Structure 1
């Protein structure tokens, strides 16, 4: 069975980081091998705070080496990286991706370049953003930035669909083969907009923005996970893009219906296999 190494944060309660990513990929038929960069009691938007700590960068390399020692790294079809707790962890991820690709040249690396959002209480350590932009994003097969992260990577301001297309095109010239922008917030106040760009085409997907008292956390991690699992399962980049959008909207809709702000990954698990909703995929270039 195909495996995925997922290197990102973890919360004990709720769904963010690996807690948002692992189960959906398992539900889609993959073996998932999580490596945690930090472990917190809960995500950082709770007013009461959180408990927990980060892990040493060497843990990442050691765990990947351990998987190789038992002869299983060759079965890894994808490596995902998300929230990094230190710049040193970025270096360990780069080495681990190279190690994995030595054992399985067909493995893909999917980088979700979390650069922090102070408004949400998400802070990254010194040096993380630089390592993401200079090392991890250029070496990735797929990057999954939000609008801010894409602008930082490319040095381009985004205020229109045309701007977004041009920024994606520049990003593709910088190393990645696929760019999935998980939220283009400046394009519409009424619709949640995502974009996918490859060397062949550029696509846009829009869906309704749901009304939450507090915005759910871990949605970006979920998008990355479902998209990666779809690619590993053999879907084309554009079909995987549509599947991820439809499935994640279904999970958010179920979350809204039960009046929660922790995304209802378990309740809505059927969405990962057969999404309820069907949004049109628009080719913009």
Structure 2
């Protein structure tokens, strides 16, 4: 069974962040190893979340124990997500280096969680700067939403073609979520070989956590030896089906998480020219 190390949030009653990613990976037969960056009771969007950020020293000690157990050399991938402090980001950077040294084949996936359309920056500027300076250079793949990719590239992301162009600016293989194309919503995967969009009809509303789920499903696909374009189709399909299964709820229920990587008839894939 492949294993994936997750450095991100744990939220008790909301299917978001690293906790949701761990559930999604486990359902797909990928072992999750979660190092939480925060311990919250609920999503902050609902009000005071309870709990608190995890001290960077605690994260470091947990990672050292995982490494001492010999697990770094067994990892298929690492996913980094939400961080509350620059010190946490520094811990994550050291962990990526340690994983790379133990297993050069492990994929390093950085979701630069910084903000979103209509909300703006929702981490401190110091955390956003640390993500860019310390984690992006180490990444094999970055997984921003469209707003975050705009911030990273300095380019507007208004459709799949502009998302692909912005991805070329950051010079990293990129999985971009929340890309609008008329009445369609989708995901763009771009690397040196080209760019592909996976599009599906826009829903009137989407629960929290769909971006986290997308990153987990795409990473799981790679860990299970799918090619990136196939992993894209399966990940976008899983998210589309999860949103449909949620039935308008504000949170993704566990039963919405796919237990296999499949293809949805509602998702279409197209190559992006240029």
Q: 1 CA distance for matches of 2:75 and 2:146? A: 30
TM-aligned CA distance change 1:219 to 1:40, over 3 Å: same
Give the secondary-structure state (helix, strand or coil) at the position aligned to 1:153. helix
Stretches of structure 2 lacking an aligned partner (at least 5 in a row): none
Give the secondary-structure state (helix, strand or coil) at the position aligned to 1:182. strand
1:222–1:248 contact (8 Å) kept in structure 2: yes
- TM-score, normalising length: structure 2: 0.93
**Greater strand share, structure number:** 2
Aligned match of 1:195: 188
CA offset digits 1:8-39 (Å, max 9, x no partner): 01111120102221111111111110011001
- TM-score, normalising length: structure 1: 0.90
Q: Please give the residue correspondences for 1:44-193 in structure 2 after superposition, counting only pairs within 5 Å.
A: 44-46=44-46, 48-117=47-116, 123-172=122-171, 176=172, 178-185=173-180, 187-188=181-182, 190-193=183-186
1:27–1:273 contact (8 Å) kept in structure 2: no
- Of 246, 256, 267, 2:255 maps to 267
Moved over 6 A (4+): none
Aligned match of 1:238: 229
- How many aligned residue pairs are there? 273
2:19–2:34 contact (8 Å) kept in structure 1: no
TM-aligned CA distance change 1:66 to 1:143, over 3 Å: same
Higher mean displacement: 58-67 or 6-15? 58-67
Q: 1 CA distance for matches of 2:149 and 2:117? A: 17
Q: 1 CA distance for matches of 2:17 and 2:34? A: 10
* Residue 120 (structure 1) shift: 5.5
TM-aligned CA distance change 1:27 to 1:153, over 3 Å: same
* Residue 269 (structure 1) shift: 3.6
Let me know the Cα RMSD of the aligned residues. 1.9
Q: 1 CA distance for matches of 2:20 and 2:146? A: 21
Aligned match of 1:29: 29
1:249–1:277 contact (8 Å) kept in structure 2: no
Give the secondary-structure state (helix, strand or coil) at the position aligned to 1:36. strand
* Residue 115 (structure 1) shift: 0.6
Give the secondary-structure state (helix, strand or coil) at the position aligned to 1:267. helix
Aligned match of 2:40: 40
Give the secondary-structure state (helix, strand or coil) at the position aligned to 2:199. strand
TM-aligned CA distance change 1:149 to 1:120, over 3 Å: closer
* Residue 150 (structure 1) shift: 0.8
Give the secondary-structure state (helix, strand or coil) at the position aligned to 2:34. strand
1:250–1:277 contact (8 Å) kept in structure 2: no
Q: 2 CA distance for matches of 1:131 and 1:114? A: 11
Q: 1 CA distance for matches of 2:157 and 2:34? A: 34
